Amino acid sequence: MESMKISVVGAVLAGGESRRLGRDKALMPLSGKALILHPFAVLQETMSDVVAVSVPGRSYGDLGITVIDDLFAGLGPLAGIHAALEWARPRPVFVVACDLPFVTVELVEHVADWGTANQVFASRSEGLMARPRARVAVWHGRQQPLFGLYSAACREALESRLRDGRLEAWRFLADIDTVPVPITPDLTFYRSDLLLNLNSPRDFQDSVPDVVPEPRDA
């Protein structure tokens, strides 16, 4: 189990346009630190290598984290997953969106299911094990493509879709071997905000009352 954790790369996706905030969402302050650092710290507790994935031109150097750029800039979250797998190759990647600050180590471990992942997600150069595979959380009945484990074989499948302009994450999950992992109240670590994402100034105000986001530029 430990060898699988070491071989998996954690990736926090921060390439969104943050239209509703009017500024880079990843740098929004939450409980005294940048939003992106919350899921980043959780992945660091679980995996030895963790990176942030963003679009070219953004800088997170002051945060002291490793940042890589999308290779297909402007093509959405699938581009972020692809960039992470390209950097990590031939290792699998566990991805988390930067706007999910309330995820926990227990949640990551539950979705990854390291014991199962060790059998089917470890890198293989050929054979059936080289098929694209994923394990993604299901929250309130909907698959969460930006919280899950992706096998190394997903890289080529993603690149093909990106080059063809097929950018829907849910279609990609439907085309590969995807295991949905429901996050339900019966889980011992369950909280109602585990996969709550923050998108608007109101979201930040509701989550941390003393945080007042900067006004949107005119």
- Find how far residue 104's CA is from the centre of its chain: 13
What phi and psi values does residue 176 have, to the nearest 5 degrees? -120, 180
Q: Which of 110, 137, 149 is nearest to 8 (CA)?
A: 149
Report pLDDT for 162: 96
What phi and psi values does residue 150 have, to the nearest 5 degrees? -120, 130
- Which domains, ranges and CATH numbers included, belong to the chain? 2-206 (3.90.550.10)
Instruction: Return d(Cα 184, Cα 35) in angstroms, integer.
Output: 25
Assigned token pair, 3: 């060898």
Report pLDDT for 30: 87
Element (H, E) at 117: helix 114-120
Report pLDDT for 114: 79
Mean pLDDT by 10 residues, the chain (218 residues): 70 72 75 92 93 86 89 92 95 95 96 77 56 94 96 95 95 96 97 86 54 38
Helix-strand-coil split of the chain, %, nearest 5: 35, 20, 45
Rounded to two decimals, the pTM is 0.86
